[in-house]
Amino acid sequence: MNQERKIDQLIKSMSLRQKIGQMFVCGFWGTEISEELRQFISTHQIGGVIYFARNVKTTEQVGRLSRDLQQAAAASGMLPLWISIDQEGGMVARITEGVALMPGNMALAAAGSADWVYESARVSGEELRSLGINLNFAPVLDVNNNPLNPVIGVRSYGESPEAVAEYGTLAFRGLQDAGVAATAKHFPGHGDTAVDSHLDLPTITHDRERMDEVELVPFRKAIAEGIDAVMSAHIYFPALEPSKLPVTLSHAVLTGLLREELGYDGVVMTDCMEMKAIAEHYGTVKAAVMAVEAGADTVLISQTPQLQVEAMEALEQAVRSGRIAESRIDASVRRLLALKAKRGLLGSPAELGTLRPELDGQVVEDLHGLQDELAQNGKQAAPGLRDKLPGSEAHMDLARRISEASITLVQARDGILPLKRERTLVISVAAAALTIADETIARTESLGSALAAQGIDVSDRQVPLAEVAEQAGRLMEEAEGGEVRQIVVGTYNAQFDPAQIKLVQDLLALGKPVVVAALRNPYDLMCFPEASALVAAYESRPLALVSTAKAIAGAIPFKGSLPVSLGASYPAGWGLQTKA
Q: Is 71 exposed, middle or buried (0-12, 13-18, 19+ CB in 10 A)?
A: middle
| Separation of CA 428 from chain center | 24
3-class state of residue 107 by DSSP: helix
Question: Among residues 515, 520, 403, 541, which one has the least CA distance to residue 110?
Answer: 403
User: What stretch of H or E contains 288?
Assistant: helix 284-294
Which residues touch 524 (CB under 8 Å, ≥6 apart)? 491, 493, 494, 495, 500, 516, 518
Distance (Å, rounded) from C-alpha 506 to C-alpha 500? Answer: 10
Neighbours of 386 (CB within 10 A): 15
E strands, 502-552, in order: 514-518, 533-536
Return the C-alpha torsion angle 261, 266, 267, 268, nearest 10: -10
3-class state of residue 26 by DSSP: strand
Question: Among residues 508, 375, 137, 346, which one has the least CA distance to residue 516?
Answer: 508
Residue 463, strand partner residues = 429
CB 556, CB 572: distance < 8 Å: no
Question: Among residues 328, 330, 305, 262, which one has the least CA distance to residue 15?
Answer: 330
3-class state of residue 143 by DSSP: coil
* 198 is a catalytic site residue: yes
User: What stretch of H or E contains 507?
Assistant: helix 498-508
**CA quadruple 55, 316, 188, 207: dihedral positive or negative?**
negative
Which residues touch 134 (CB under 8 Å, ≥6 apart)? 82, 83, 84, 128, 179, 180, 181, 343, 344, 345, 359
CB 52, CB 27: distance < 8 Å: yes
3-class state of residue 429 by DSSP: strand
Beta strand 408-412 with 424-429: parallel, antiparallel or unpaired? unpaired
**Catalytic member of 186, 198, 234, 395:** 198
Question: Among residues 100, 101, 104, which one has the least CA distance to residue 90?
Answer: 104
Distance (Å, rounded) from C-alpha 427 to C-alpha 444? Answer: 14
**Catalytic member of 86, 192, 228, 271:** 271
Q: What are phi and psi of 327, to 5 degrees?
A: -65, -30
* 271 is a catalytic site residue: yes
Question: Among residues 498, 467, 524, 438, which one has the least CA distance to residue 199?
Answer: 438
Q: Is 106 exposed, middle or buried (0-12, 13-18, 19+ CB in 10 A)?
A: buried
The set of catalytic residues is 198, 271
